[in-house]
Amino acid sequence: MKFYSLPNEIPENMLQGMALTHPHLTYLDGTGIMYDNQFDQNHVPIISGGGSGHEPAHVGFVGKGMLAAAVTGSLFVPPKAEYILQTIRQVNHGKGVFLVVKNFEADLLVFEEAIKQARAEGIDARYIVSHDDISVNVYNYHKRHRGVAGTVLLHKILGAMAANGATIDEIQAAAFELSVHIFTLGVALAPVSFPNQKTSFDLAANEVSFGVGIHGEPGYRIEKFESQERIAIELVNKLKHEIHWRHHEHFNDFIILVNGLGATTLMELYSFQYDVLRLMELEGINVVFSKVGNLMTSFDMEGISLTLCPVRDDKWLTALQAETSAFGW
Amino acid sequence: MKFYSLPNEIPENMLQGMALTHPHLTYLDGTGIMYDNQFDQNHVPIISGGGSGHEPAHVGFVGKGMLAAAVTGSLFVPPKAEYILQTIRQVNHGKGVFLVVKNFEADLLVFEEAIKQARAEGIDARYIVSHDDISVNVYNYHKRHRGVAGTVLLHKILGAMAANGATIDEIQAAAFELSVHIFTLGVALAPVSFPNQKTSFDLAANEVSFGVGIHGEPGYRIEKFESQERIAIELVNKLKHEIHWRHHEHFNDFIILVNGLGATTLMELYSFQYDVLRLMELEGINVVFSKVGNLMTSFDMEGISLTLCPVRDDKWLTALQAETSAFGW
């Protein structure tokens, strides 16, 4: 059993609990809107958000050097456009407002509507659609390009640049360049178990599903579990090929992110990280920054995603290493 | 399914993965010993450790301002005395060495043996036994006084004092005073599922077990689940009564720690935190510091523990707020 918030409502108690625990966070009751009350108004605010169930994303990334605000909906359901618009207004101080939106149809619909309305009010609202997932749709073999764990790199890097005084033009340019260099693939060991409902898909105890999403979506292939190393090899190979396919060049330095999908222990994540780092070494790849943790979760899913990001610009690295007050980083 | 390390061995890959990810950590192959390679040798080193499966404890608390080293055994089994002794030698620089040992028979046996041998070598090794658990044994109604999540407060507070130049005498005195002010009670929503074995105890999907340990031990009472708030009330009341029983005085300021037992999501932990803070407010209790997260886990157990610590000494608060490079804090 798990404790659940009411799945069809904004998780009000969770958000209140976060604001009461972290003094830099202020919550606007009933809206899903959390903002950094110590945000420096000389800087461009970065906003993100979406459905709840991805904790610590996105509220855990609100703080100095990351997001100025996050807006949260009910479980896996994006917030209403009116609350996104209210978030934009809340953090706007005339420097422009930059939003990071995960590439899901439902998210795009409400975020684009809110951005349109903000622009009509004269706010210079711009956005990037994060689309790091390289899994394929089994029905038509199209790439899905969903926005998943790699989105957190956008939060951290753009947030640190903003805190360092970057203009909205500079942030937009960095976002476009960075977002096409982030590649993620996830694997589930167990599906999401929704409150009082069945699981999000069927998976036997000795099976793994490759290419899962962050809302309990099934992957593109189920296999018998052989070893953790075998999974690391599959993810690294797929990501490596995709990076080469898209960029036709060799990169020496990589950022990596080993993300737990919710119920994954640190023992599992760091053992997996070890396998990945050993493969990287065999490939002659230089890992210049790595991060391990449950950062962009799929509620209580047991599983891991791997994100690779070749370093095109050394500023990305400086930004990743910068300090932040966000509790989820 | 979960990824498992071999349960009867030191989780070598996990420990190697941690050392490769965090540059301040150095791992001694095959020993379970991890130490802070940036430790300031003018300070008294604090050591902790025990079985693995409690991650981020204890390696996640190695770093500036917390532990100088941690020594890790196989799943739920403490390290051998020889490795504990080797850890003591590794960090000893003549200022004395202070160990935090969780109150379990198997842990005491090996830690006390290692400390005896270290003393025979002329090392001023001292220790505190953390015993924050207030649950009772159902067979004889004795209090168990196991060392559980509240142990992390000892790591943080003593570690910060040591980094601030406290002597071994001052650390020992602070440890004795602090340890009798830390009170923890845990509740499980689901048991531990051991690798290729059955679960650690039986619990129906709509039941909760009060008073569980951090090695999958069953609690003292199973109840039908009613609400998260009901659980918060039970834990707060039991802890409050125990604190009053032991100290016969009124405290105004409290430190609280809401700890996930492994598979617990941040949504659950922060919603629970909200209930606890609301109860504290009703009681007129001033929460001066709180921490929420999966800090001292019981492998993949689903559950929460609550730790209350009345503030006897304001130095505890300063120490909790101090910075640390430990990745698990």
Closest CA–CA distance from residue B268 to any residue of chain A (Å): 6
Q: Mark yes or no for CB contact B292/A21 under 8 Å.
A: yes
B residues 41-60 lying closer than 8 A (beta carbon) to A: 52-53, 55-56, 60
Same domain, A145 and A199: no
Q: Is A165 inside a domain boundary?
A: yes
Q: Mark yes or no for CB contact B265/A300 under 8 Å.
A: yes
How confident is residue B197, by pLDDT bands cut at 50, 70 and 90?
A: low
With tokens 């020993």, the residue in question is B31
Q: Is A5 inside a domain boundary?
A: no
From residue B145, give the alpha-carbon distance in Å to each of A58, A260, B6, B128, B175. 38, 33, 30, 13, 16
Closest CA–CA distance from residue B17 to any residue of chain A (Å): 4
To test the contact with chain A by mutation, choose from B21, B62, B295 the residue with the greatest count of A C-beta atoms within 10 A, namely B21
- Distance between terminal CA atoms of chain A? 28
Same domain, B112 and B136: yes
List the single residue in A55, A225, A328 with the smallest CB-CB distance to B265: A55
Phi, psi of B269 (to 5 degrees): -65, -45
Q: Is the peptide bond before B58 cis (omega within 30 degrees of 0)?
A: yes
Q: Looking at residues B58-81, what average pLDDT do you find?
A: 97
A residues 4-33 lying closer than 8 A (beta carbon) to B: 4-5, 11, 13-18, 20-21
Same domain, B111 and B246: no
Query: Per residue in B9-45, pLDDT tens?
Result: 999 999 999 999 999 999 999 999 999 999 999 999 9
Give pLDDT, residue B123: 98
- Which residues are CB-contacts of A272 (< 8 A; sequence separation ≥ 6)? A228, A231, A232, A258, A304, A306, B3, B17
B102 touches B109 (CB < 8 A)? no
List the single residue in B1, B228, B263 with the smallest CB-CB distance to A225: B1
> Active-site residues of A: which are they?
54, 215
Residue whose C-alpha is closest to residue A309's, from A135, A181, A178, A185:
A181
Q: Looking at residues B170-182, what average pLDDT do you find?
A: 98
Q: Mark yes or no for CB contact A17/B205 under 8 Å.
A: no
Last residue of a domain, one of A112, A144, A179: A179
Give pLDDT, residue A196: 65
How many inter-chain contacts (A to B, CB under 8 Å) are there? Answer: 148
Q: Is B326 inside a domain boundary?
A: no
Closest CA–CA distance from residue B259 to any residue of chain A (Å): 13
Show residues of chain B in contact with A207, CB under 8 Å. Answer: 1
Show residues of chain A in contact with B227, CB under 8 Å. Answer: none
Give pLDDT, residue B318: 97
Residue whose C-alpha is closest to residue A100's, from A14, A38, A208, A176:
A176
Same domain, A23 and A163: yes
CATH classification at residue A295: 3.30.1180.20
Q: Mark yes or no for CB contact B21/A292 under 8 Å.
A: yes
To test the contact with chain A by mutation, choose from B267, B281, B325 the residue with the greatest count of A C-beta atoms within 10 A, namely B267
Same domain, A161 and A302: no
Q: Is A7 inside a domain boundary?
A: no
How confident is residue B5, by pLDDT bands cut at 50, 70 and 90?
A: low
Closest CA–CA distance from residue B149 to any residue of chain A (Å): 16
Q: Looking at residues A41-47, what average pLDDT do you find?
A: 98
Consecutive H or E run containing B185: strand B183-190
Same domain, B168 and B43: yes
Show residues of chain B in contact with A51, CB under 8 Å. Answer: none
Give pLDDT, residue B1: 72
pLDDT of B140 higher than 80 = no
Q: Mark yes or no for CB contact B20/A56 under 8 Å.
A: no
* Mean pLDDT, chain B, integer: 94
Q: Is A306 inside a domain boundary?
A: yes
Q: Mark yes or no for CB contact B1/A190 under 8 Å.
A: yes
Q: Is A247 inside a domain boundary?
A: yes
Last residue of a domain, one of A142, A157, A179: A179
Query: Per residue in B238-276, pLDDT tens?
Result: 999 999 888 888 898 999 999 999 999 999 999 999 999
Consecutive H or E run containing B99: strand B97-102
CATH classification at residue A120: 3.40.50.10440
Q: A128 forms bridges with which residues in the sheet?
A: A100
Q: Is A240 inside a domain boundary?
A: yes
Last residue of a domain, one of A154, A179, A204: A179
pLDDT of A248 higher than 90 = no
- Distance between terminal CA atoms of chain B? 28
Give pLDDT, residue B270: 97
Closest CA–CA distance from residue B308 to any residue of chain A (Å): 15
Task: For chain A, say whether B321 makes contact (Cβ under 8 Å).
Answer: no
Give pLDDT, residue B196: 65
List the single residue in B53, B265, B269 with the smallest CB-CB distance to A262: B265
Task: For chain A, say whether B1 makes contact (Cβ under 8 Å).
Answer: yes
Task: For chain A, say whether B74 makes contact (Cβ under 8 Å).
Answer: no
The interface predicted TM-score of the complex, written ipTM, equals 0.95
Q: B34 forms bridges with which residues in the sheet?
A: B27, B70
pLDDT of A5 higher than 70 = no
B54 is catalytic: yes
pLDDT of A101 higher than 70 = yes
Same domain, B110 and B201: no
List the single residue in A4, A263, A274 with the smallest CB-CB distance to B263: A263
Give pLDDT, residue B205: 83
Least confident of A25-29, A138-142, A190-194, A298-302: A138-142
Same domain, B211 and B292: yes
Nearest-10 crossing angle of helices A314-321, A151-163 = 80
A residues 262-291 lying closer than 8 A (beta carbon) to B: 262-275, 277, 290-291
Q: Which residue has the higher pLDDT, B4 or B75?
A: B75
Same domain, B132 and B211: no
pLDDT of B214 higher than 90 = no
| Total count of domains within chain B | 2
Cα–chain-centroid distance for residue A107?
13
Same domain, B159 and B278: no
Q: Mark yes or no for CB contact A271/B17 under 8 Å.
A: yes
Q: Looking at residues B283-291, what average pLDDT do you find?
A: 95
Cα distance between residue B263 and residue A117, in whole Å: 41
Cα–chain-centroid distance for residue A48?
9
Highest-confidence segment of A139-143, B98-102, B218-222: B98-102
Q: Is A1 inside a domain boundary?
A: no
B residues 135-174 lying closer than 8 A (beta carbon) to A: none
Which residue range forms the structural domain that includes residue A56?
12-179
Query: Per residue in A132-169, pLDDT tens?
Result: 999 987 777 777 899 999 999 999 999 999 999 999 99
Q: Mark yes or no for CB contact A55/B267 under 8 Å.
A: yes
Catalytic residue among B43, B58, B131, B215: B215
Same domain, B82 and B102: yes
Q: Mark yes or no for CB contact B2/A55 under 8 Å.
A: no
Q: Looking at residues B122-133, what average pLDDT do you find?
A: 97
Show residues of chain A in contact with B275, CB under 8 Å. Answer: 13
Same domain, B170 and B195: no
pLDDT of B329 higher than 80 = yes
A320 touches A157 (CB < 8 A)? yes
A73-76: which pairs have CB atoms within 8 A and are 24 or more residues apart? A73/A10, A73/A32, A73/A49, A74/A6, A74/A7, A74/A8, A74/A9, A74/A10, A74/A11, A75/A5, A75/A7, A75/A8, A75/A11, A75/A51, A75/A194, A75/A195, A75/A299, A76/A51, A76/A52, A76/A215, A76/A216, A76/A299
A201 touches A216 (CB < 8 A)? yes
To test the contact with chain A by mutation, choose from B225, B265, B329 the residue with the greatest count of A C-beta atoms within 10 A, namely B265
